Amino acid sequence: MLGIETSCDETAAAVVKNGREVLSNIISSQIDIHKLYGGVVPEIASRKHTEIINQVITEALDTAGVGLDDLSGVAVTYGPGLVGALLVGVAEAKAICWARDIPLVGVHHISGHISANYIENAELEPPFLCLVVSGGHSHIVRVTDYGKYEILARTRDDAAGEAFDKVARVIELGYPGGPKIDKLAREGDPDAVPFPKAKVNGADLDFSFSGVKTAVLNYVNAYRMKDVPYSKADIAASFQNAVVSVLTEHTMEAAKRCGIDRIALAGGVASNSALRASFEKACSANGYRLFRPSPVLCTDNGAMIACAGYYEFMAGVRHGWDLNAVPNLKLG
């Protein structure tokens, strides 16, 4: 299966055999262009995808040692994401499938992130619980079967990755903020500033990250107004601590309520070192088995799309030439 991913600022293609064996995984990042603007510029993202997608796919096929005629199908992210960016991948996948008369399988981007866990864990099968934390999503999901998801909790405002990116901007670390906060936090004290760990009334497993983001902004502004220096490392570590502890506590509570003892992590923020350490500790304390993809499979890539697409394909899913990009596609 060839997997194509262009939902945001990564142009990615991969060849995966039988859902779990990665033969190639090529990722071309646009970060160097978008960081000039402090975030992803949708129009630039679409243009850059069109410029490079053929090259990325050719490299994925060459590295895997296969040709288009060896493919059983093409899996492509068709939502959620930036509409112009998604359209590039969808049009490309349709063109290949039409030209070679092979099946087209549209994949939900988050289903891809969750499926990344299958790649390095041959023994992992549903059911399990998954914390999905990316730039656009913060969900606790019960995976009931391949491609079947039940959302147990969600964010009421910002996604976890979005909060990392916004806080990084406040303390002038640049884009993308997540990896920069992760790195700087290692030099700071996670207990230096007691940033709020927001609770949501009425839905106690849900998340809310706009409060902690505003608290960081107010904290920094107070120091700037007095022209007093502050420790960026302490802010990064304390903010990260507030976010990571809420993500861990809520996921452990969800697992307890569902009686599920296998927990997985997914999405770009799942590559955060403090989050991984916190989950390792909590899972071992509770006797849960933890699964988490290698960092390169946590952030956007084509292998996770090929993997998710394989299970859709095996379940008989085939999309037609009317497949369109769906920017706000729902999971489940």
Instruction: Name the residues that contact ligand KG4, by CB under 6 A.
Output: 8, 113, 134-136, 161, 164-165, 176-179, 182, 267-269, 271-272, 299-300
Residue 309, binding choice from Zn ion, ligand KG4, none, Cβ under 5 to 8 Å by partner class: none
Q: Is 3 helix (H, G, I), strand (E, B) or coil?
A: strand
- Closest approach, Cβ 29 to ligand KG4, in A, equals 10
- Rounded to whole angstroms, how far apart are CA atoms 91 and 53? 11
Nearer Cβ to Zn ion (161/211): 161
Q: Which is nearer to Zn ion, 282 or 307 (CB)?
A: 307
H-run or E-run covering 155:
none
The minimum distance between CB 81 and Zn ion, in angstroms, equals 8
**How far, in Å, are 30, 57, 62, 99, 271 from residue 51 at the CA level?**
11, 12, 19, 20, 28
134 makes contact with Zn ion (CB under 5 A): yes
Q: Indicate the helix (H) or strand (E) that contains 152.
A: strand 148-153
Q: Which is nearer to ligand KG4, 176 or 309 (CB)?
A: 176
Name which of residues 293 to 312 contact Zn ion (CB under 5 A): 300
CA dihedral 93, 98, 99, 100 (to 10 degrees): 90
Q: Which residue number, 117 or 134, has a Cβ lying nearer to Zn ion?
A: 134
Partner interacting with residue 251 (select from Zn ion, ligand KG4, none; CB below 5-8 Å by kind)? none
Chain-centroid distance, C-alpha 330? 15
Which does residue 182 bind out of Zn ion, ligand KG4, none, counting CB within 5 to 8 angstroms by kind? ligand KG4
- For Zn ion, the closer of residues 252 and 304 by Cβ is 304
Query: What does the alpha-carbon distance between residue 147 and residue 61 come to, in Å, rounded to a whole number?
Result: 26
Q: How far apart are CA 20 and CA 33, in angstroms?
A: 32
Indicate the angle between helix axes 302-314 and 109-120, nearest 10 degrees. Answer: 90
Q: State the minimum distance, in angstroms, from the CB of residue 170 to Zn ion.
A: 23
Partner whose binding site includes residue 269, from Zn ion, ligand KG4, none (CB under 5 to 8 Å by kind): ligand KG4
User: Rounded to the nearest whole angstrom, what is the least distance from the CB of residue 256 to ligand KG4 in the complex?
Assistant: 26
5 binds Zn ion (CB under 5 A): no
Q: For residues 176-202, b (16+ Cβ closer than 10 Å) or e, as one string?
A: bbbbbbbebbeebebebbebebbebee
Q: Which is nearer to ligand KG4, 24 or 138 (CB)?
A: 138
Closer by beta carbon to ligand KG4, 12 or else 96: 12
Contact between 76 and 90 (Cβ < 8 Å): yes
Question: Which option in ligand KG4, Zn ion, none does residue 238 bind, with CB closer than 5 to 8 A by kind?
Answer: none
Sites of contact with Zn ion (CB under 5 A):
134, 300
